[in-house]
Amino acid sequence: MADRLRGLRAWARRQRPAGIRARVTATAVAVVGIASILAAFAMVAFVGSSLTAQAADQATVRAQQIADDGVKDGGTIVVADPEEQFVQVLRGPAVVASSANVVGLPALAVPGPDGAVRVRVPTVAGPFIAASAVTVGADGPRTVVVGLNIDDIDDARHVVALALLVGVPLLLVVVGLVTWWMVGRTLRPVEDMREEVERISSTELDRRVPTPSRDDEVGRLARTMNRMLDRLERGQERQRRFISDASHELRSPVATIRQHAEVAVEHPDTTNLEELASVVLAEDARLQGLADDLLLLARLDEHVPLARFDEVDLDDVVLAEAVRLRSTTSLAVDTRGVSTARILGRRTDVERIVRNLTDNALRHARARIWLAVGTSDGHVALTVEDDGPGIASADRERVLERFVRLDGARGRATGGSGLGLSIVREVALAHGGVVVLGRSPQGGLRAEVRFPAP
């Protein structure tokens, strides 16, 4: 017995929970059922009270008619149908006149002035509703009591109750079927989307879920899922391109080191150790710089929170970079546009932005580089300009992507790694800033990074 119970519990756990269609249908049936039952009780009570009130009014009218016609003690009052009506005339508690069907019976009812009472007549089957009227004679007031049979009222209530007893279950069946059909029809696009999503894999991100034509919650869900799939496809494409370009960039210095090492092994007598060491160190520095760039981008992609921001004197960072440039290049470096400004950030990251922008300008400038720092409209702007060939407006957004070099070169002298400007954009975004590329008045590229003012 215990094994059977454990087996039943295990089977119950394995069963799938009721779906939305079943839950909505059950809820609709339950709500309509409860409302219908309450309405049925209210309807039966209303029919009974309404018909009973009508019968009481009729009895009161008949009693008033008899009182107005006058009554005599000891007389017999004629009624149309002894099974449906009785009459008693009372003087105090004593019966002084009555209809033939209640002769000899004591007072059956003494209704109040504004009401009627239910009574049962021993000589006549069925309940009655009795009402009274008072008439005044020379020898004192008399009360005329008229009773009407209310068997028909009880029969009407039973008929209504029976009709509701049959109709309510039929109504619940209809409600359940209609709700089941409507919910199934409404959720069919959701099931189609689920089946399509089930078939989508990492190699088939070009697939899209079917979109219903109607503009409701399901249609908006389908369009949202397709936009999500668009983002995933673009992200996967960027990831593939990133891995491909990173592999190419890493392969180049490794191949250079290996080539020089193989030549040194094959021809040790003619190998210049100083030259070999210089090449290896240069390529190693290139590898290290590329690895640092990739790690920084990976950290920014994962939205890892940066360390606590401090106030950084942006003008000091720019002027220090200008000193480095003047010592390493013959190009003129103009810093007359640098004014005092502070931002919130990490100094090493801000130095990285300035260094990447100046390296890019240095790579393309012909004779001069302009550096500027200023504050306006609630933000601090860092500007680096050169007098080189510049970038066409159609390519300015594209050069901010990773491993993009407009000349297509892969050499260090012409294009770098293609990560400099993309790092500038990502680090600026992490500091709440934006990067805007435009055309310099000197003809070259104007790169502006706008930071929020502290």
Instruction: Give the pLDDT of residue 148.
Output: 85
CA distance 97 to 104: 10
Instruction: Give the pLDDT of residue 219.
Output: 82
pLDDT at 269 > cutoff 80:
no
What are 134's strand-pairing partners?
A: 143
CA distance 433 to 449: 7
Contacts of 417 (CB under 8 A, 6+ apart): 249, 289, 290, 293, 403
pLDDT at 413 > cutoff 50:
no
Q: Which two tokens stand for residue 379?
A: 């933000």
Q: Choose between 206 and 300: higher pLDDT.
A: 206
CA distance 154 to 126: 10
pLDDT at 198 > cutoff 70:
yes
CA distance 314 to 354: 9
Instruction: Give the pLDDT of residue 369.
Output: 93
Instruction: Summarize pLDDT for 109-142 with one digit per residue, the tens.
Output: 877 766 777 777 777 767 887 777 777 666 678 8
Instruction: Calculate what percentage of the chain has a pLDDT beyond 90.
Output: 12
Which range of 26-35, 47-56, 119-128 scores highest in mean pLDDT? It is 26-35
Instruction: Give the pLDDT of residue 15.
Output: 43
- Among 96-100, 382-386, 416-420, 425-429, which is the least confidently predicted range? 416-420
- Indicate the pTM of the whole model: 0.49
Instruction: Summarize pLDDT for 215-240 with one digit per residue, the tens.
Output: 778 788 888 888 888 888 877 777 77
Instruction: Give the pLDDT of residue 450.
Output: 92
Instruction: Give the pLDDT of residue 384.
Output: 93
Q: State the chain's mean pLDDT as an integer.
A: 80
The C-alpha angle 94, 98, 101, rounded to 5 degrees, equals 125
pLDDT band at residue 73 under the 50/70/90 scheme: confident
Instruction: Give the pLDDT of residue 174.
Output: 92
Instruction: Give the pLDDT of residue 303.
Output: 61
Instruction: Give the pLDDT of residue 7.
Output: 62
Instruction: Give the pLDDT of residue 113.
Output: 65
Find tokens 């069946």 and name the residue: 173
Instruction: Give the pLDDT of residue 313.
Output: 92
Length of the chain: 454
Instruction: Give the pLDDT of residue 2.
Output: 60
Are the C-beta atoms of 195 and 210 separated by less than 8 Å?
Answer: no
pLDDT at 331 > cutoff 50:
yes
Instruction: Summarize pLDDT for 352-383 with one digit per residue, the tens.
Output: 889 889 988 888 888 999 999 998 888 999 99
Instruction: Give the pLDDT of residue 411.
Output: 41
Q: Choose between 289 and 53: higher pLDDT.
A: 53
Q: Which two tokens stand for residue 68?
A: 């107005």
Q: Which two tokens stand for residue 449?
A: 């990074």
Are the C-beta atoms of 147 and 85 separated by less than 8 Å?
Answer: yes
What are 445's strand-pairing partners?
A: 439
Mean pLDDT across the stretch 147-155?
84
Domains of the chain, CATH where assigned: 70-151 (no CATH), 217-299 (1.10.287.130), 305-452 (3.30.565.10)
Mean pLDDT across the stretch 192-196?
81
